[in-house]
């Protein structure tokens, strides 16, 4: 069993796609309230790692405890998904539902929250992301930045204990990145446990308790942001930082 302060504990995780080895003996321990930023070159396994944490992918070997539950099968995966929110690069809102309907769907279906309570919660989170006035609109009537803030609010409506982000600003026009990072910063400051794949290094410096660098399926280096950015230890990280910043 894991101590209650553990949000995620991964040990010896290995994942192959056919004969391609994409996660190699990954160990990761995240305590409750930590904000972990994951960066690394394209194809290094960042998305696969994040997707394993909420059961969107299954690893072939290794052990994983997420939100206090050891993951051994589909029943555990379903339980974990209720406590883990995920935000993707491509928003993934339901296009045929209004903003409000997007937010109240899963709480009603999965958590059996009665509609009035789901609406109340949704409006609370929409207010937090400054989009309450947009609740009757459809996703296509919003900017990319607004859609991503709705996606964050939608994930929060499930009242997760952990939030995962996979390059949440990569699909946005530059002028919209700031508003999404601001929403994520508020969330970080509220004490949410967060794992974020992002190449927004300024954001990582401001909010991360720890930054991980992945390369070729491994966590190659990890440290608190000041040391990570100002005193990288490996040549691979030095090279990577000189390319992204």
Task: Give yes or no for residue 48 binding Mg ion (CB under 5 A).
Answer: no
From Mg ion, ligand ADP, none, interface partner of 48 (C-beta below 5 to 8 A by class): ligand ADP
Distance of alpha carbon 108 from alpha carbon 125, whole angstroms: 16
Stretch that binds Mg ion, among 32-40, 47-55, 133-141, 183-191 (CB under 5 A): 47-55
State which residue, 52 or 119, has the beta carbon closest to ligand ADP. Answer: 52
> Residue 198 region, left (φ>0) first, then alpha (ψ -120 to 50), else beta?
beta
Task: Give yes or no for residue 147 binding Mg ion (CB under 5 A).
Answer: no
Distance of alpha carbon 152 from alpha carbon 99, whole angstroms: 12
From ligand ADP, Mg ion, none, interface partner of 193 (C-beta below 5 to 8 A by class): none
From Mg ion, ligand ADP, none, interface partner of 42 (C-beta below 5 to 8 A by class): ligand ADP
State which residue, 47 or 146, has the beta carbon closest to Mg ion. Answer: 47
Could you tell me which residues are beta bridge partners of residue 194?
35, 163
State which residue, 123 or 171, has the beta carbon closest to Mg ion. Answer: 171
Strands 6-17 and 69-70: unpaired
> Residue 191 region, left (φ>0) first, then alpha (ψ -120 to 50), else beta?
left
State which residue, 22 or 103, has the beta carbon closest to Mg ion. Answer: 22
Q: Under the rule (CB under 6 A), what is the footprint of ligand ADP?
A: 17, 22, 40, 42-48
Nearest distance from C-beta of residue 231 to ligand ADP, angstroms:
24
Residue closest to Mg ion when measured from CB atoms: 47
Task: Give yes or no for residue 47 binding Mg ion (CB under 5 A).
Answer: yes
**Helix, strand or coil, per DSSP, at residue 205:** helix
Task: Give yes or no for residue 169 binding Mg ion (CB under 5 A).
Answer: no
State which residue, 50 or 131, has the beta carbon closest to Mg ion. Answer: 50
From Mg ion, ligand ADP, none, interface partner of 210 (C-beta below 5 to 8 A by class): none
Closest CA relative to residue 177, chosen from 167, 186, 192, 187: 167
Distance of alpha carbon 3 from alpha carbon 231, whole angstroms: 32
Angle at 39 between CA 13 and CA 47, to 5 degrees: 50
237 burial (CB, 10 Å; 0-12 / 13-18 / 19+) is buried
Distance of alpha carbon 35 from alpha carbon 204, whole angstroms: 9
Could you tell me which residues are beta bridge partners of residue 37?
196, 211
Rule CB under 5 A: which of 84-123 touch Mg ion? none
Nearest distance from C-beta of residue 200 to Mg ion, angstroms:
14
**Helix, strand or coil, per DSSP, at residue 197:** strand
State which residue, 35 or 46, has the beta carbon closest to ligand ADP. Answer: 46
Where along the sequence are the contacts to Mg ion (CB under 5 A)? 47
């Amino acid at each position: 069993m894991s101590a209650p302060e553990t949000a995620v504990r991964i040990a010896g995780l290995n994942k192959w796609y056919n004969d391609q080895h994409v996660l190699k003996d990954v160990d990761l321990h995240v305590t409750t309230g930590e904000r972990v930023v994951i960066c690394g070159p394209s194809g290094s396994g960042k998305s696969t790692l994040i997707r394993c944490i909420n059961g969107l992918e299954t690893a072939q070997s290794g052990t994983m405890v997420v939100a206090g539950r050891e993951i051994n099968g589909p029943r555990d995966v379903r339980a974990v998904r209720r406590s883990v929110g995920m935000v993707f690069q491509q928003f993934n809102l339901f296009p045929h539902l209004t903003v409000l309907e997007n937010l109240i769907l899963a709480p009603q279906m999965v958590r059996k929250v009665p509609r009035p309570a789901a609406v109340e919660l949704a409006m609370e989170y929409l207010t937090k992301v400054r989009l309450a006035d947009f609740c009757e609109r459809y996703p296509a009537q919003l900017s990319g930045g607004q859609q991503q803030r709705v996606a964050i609010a939608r994930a929060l409506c499930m009242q997760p204990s952990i939030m995962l982000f996979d390059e949440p600003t990569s699909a946005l026009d530059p002028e919209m990145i700031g508003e999404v990072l601001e929403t994520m910063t508020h969330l970080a400051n509220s004490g949410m446990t967060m794992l974020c794949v992002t190449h927004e290094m300024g954001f990582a410096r401001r909010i991360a308790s720890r930054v991980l660098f992945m390369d070729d399926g491994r966590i190659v280096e990890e440290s608190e942001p000041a040391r990570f950015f100002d005193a990288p230890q490996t040549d691979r990280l030095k090279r990577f930082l000189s390319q992204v910043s």
